[in-house]
Structure 1
Amino acid sequence: MLDAWIMTPWIAAVFAVFAWWFATGAILIVVRRSDAGDRMAHGRSVVLAVPLLALGIAGLIVTSGDLTPLNIYLSFGSVLLIWGWIELAFLAGVITGPERGDCPPGLTGWPRFVRAWTAMSHHEIALLLGLLAVVVASHPAENPFGLWAYVILFFARISAKLNLFFGAPRINTEFMPRPLAHLKSYFRQGPITLAFPIGVTLLSAATICFGERLVSASDPATAVGFALLATLAGLATLEHWLMVVPLPDAKLWRWMLPVPKTHQEGTDP
């Protein structure tokens, strides 16, 4: 009975949506609680999550050699663990960049881009190292779906950052943690730029491509894999549109987060 369920593409799609929502919420909860803690709270949360990173890498290694529906689900989840740890380290301010100050008012053009890069360059390098680790862990890849999931997440994150830098009509900073407060000064709220249609077009094309592969899949395992990828690419596309369309997307997670404490001046530990 369970085997029949996990081999159903629409179950895979539901799983991808839930995993995306749950993983995002879990990271936000940890970051919000760390914000309310002492100065070492964010660092502790990253260190305590290292076993999850190791579990993700191990899971990817174990599941990459055999193309079965269960292995595809597990490789997908393993990649989310790897990606989630890198995102947690970023939001915790542990892996960001050497520049920790606000963007100077009036800074434009190439100098602004360079300063923004130095503010988060370590995170970009971590994402690249994560991609390298996923490639190595999943080689030889009888099951390439974990690798493709990471590639989707990687491209979507880079595209989203570029849109926040160049300009987007809607920028939600509600969940921005204290260690990254300075990054708000690098965001530009305004009309969309060329970065938006490029990102949305490529992600939409990926969604359609994976959807076509899903429809033409010749076996249940492949169908499950492409259902996961098509859904993930679709969610990434949706996240981009939420930078333009005024929808209350923050409500998806706001209800589950602890109320942030107000830190009065001079009272931070």
Structure 2
Amino acid sequence: MKEQDVHSPWIAAFAALFLWWFSTGAILVVVRLMERRGEAARRAVVVAALPVMGLGIWGYETTLGAGSAGAAYGAFLSALAIWGWIELAFLLGVITGPNAHACPADVPEWERFVRAWGTLAFHEILLVAVLGLMWATGAGAANPTGLWTFTMLYAARVSAKLNLYAGVPRINVEFIPAHLRHMASHFRLRRPGWVFAVAVTGLTLALACWIERAIAAGDAGALTGHALLAAITGLALLEHWLMVLPLPDAKLWRWMMPAPKQDKRPEGPHGF
């Protein structure tokens, strides 16, 4: 393979697609395997995965001053590692929020919002804290790929949560583990509104920005970094459109997932 091919924006885009798909699938497999285990076992998995977070922090700090294409890939992987550990802790129910109850159907809107916030407050606080530390150490660095990767992941995740809360036509709850099923009671099935319009407009503008910067890049590192950011932003935009379009997105991971164990306990009024 020629050296210029290694720095191709298309290779970077496909690498981002694969890394996103693989890391998401790996987290979902672990969550499925631990779904019917006790809280202590889930906490042990999160602690055992701490080296992934440590490697992500080390990689992020190490690549900040390097402007090569390899450093851009390293920064991207590091941001995914940090993000992945936090998501694993969330999906295993270790870092979520103080509210673990389903939302009644007849509560006023302000109470519904407070209840929804309570289901993931600790997770959101951790994300904001990590994002703040990353900006404090990485703003103005020669290689901002890791910083912007985490920033785009955070912005897209907040946008997706707001859309689930405000209401969208399609909501996939297939991969929500049993210990987080109460969160689905805070979702709304309805036609998309202004929240969705603002979200897809913002993500589209961000995607156009990364593509423009990739085209104007003067070196391989900047080209690779902006191509990776364009790919992850495009995936976030696609994720939003999948809340509206009737496409079987769950098939991307269902084939690799272990079969769920049947829960023989009786379902409550908010069970699935």
TM-score normalised by length of structure 1:
0.95
Indicate whether 1:77 and 2:80 are aligned: no
Partner Cα separation in structure 2 for residue 198 and residue 41 of structure 1: 40
Number of aligned residue pairs: give it.
266
Q: Match of 2:142?
A: 142
Partner Cα separation in structure 2 for residue 71 and residue 145 of structure 1: 9
SS in 1 for 2:155: helix
CA contact (8 A) 1:65 1:140 kept: no
Partner Cα separation in structure 1 for residue 138 and residue 25 of structure 2: 27
Indicate whether 1:253 and 2:253 are aligned: yes
Q: Match of 1:102?
A: 102
Q: Which amino acid in 2 is paired with 1:149?
A: T
Partner Cα separation in structure 2 for residue 201 and residue 111 of structure 1: 29
Q: Which amino acid in 2 is paired with 1:228?
A: L
Which residues of 2 match residues 138-217 of structure 1 at below 5 A?
A: 138=138, 141-217=141-217
Distance 1:3 1:60, change over 3 A: farther
Q: Match of 2:233?
A: 233
Structure 1 residue 4, shift from structure 2 partner? 3.8
Partner Cα separation in structure 2 for residue 94 and residue 150 of structure 1: 21
CA deviation vs aligned residue, 1:46-88 (integer Å, no higher than 9, x gap): 1111110010000001111111100110000000000001111
SS in 2 for 1:245: coil
Partner Cα separation in structure 2 for residue 6 and residue 137 of structure 1: 29
Partner Cα separation in structure 2 for residue 39 and residue 206 of structure 1: 39
Structure 1, unmatched stretches of 5+, are none
Structure 1 residue 142, shift from structure 2 partner? 1.1
Indicate whether 1:51 and 2:38 are aligned: no
Q: Match of 1:10?
A: 10
Distance 1:2 1:60, change over 3 A: farther
Indicate whether 1:126 and 2:131 are aligned: no
Q: Which amino acid in 1 is paired with 2:261?
A: K
Partner Cα separation in structure 2 for residue 230 and residue 90 of structure 1: 26
Using the TM superposition, name which of 116-125 and 243-252 deviates more: 116-125
Partner Cα separation in structure 2 for residue 205 and residue 63 of structure 1: 27
TM-score normalised by length of structure 2:
0.94
CA contact (8 A) 1:64 1:140 kept: no
CA RMSD, 1 decimal = 1.4
Partner Cα separation in structure 2 for residue 153 and residue 2 of structure 1: 32
CA contact (8 A) 1:6 1:70 kept: no
Distance 1:31 1:125, change over 3 A: same
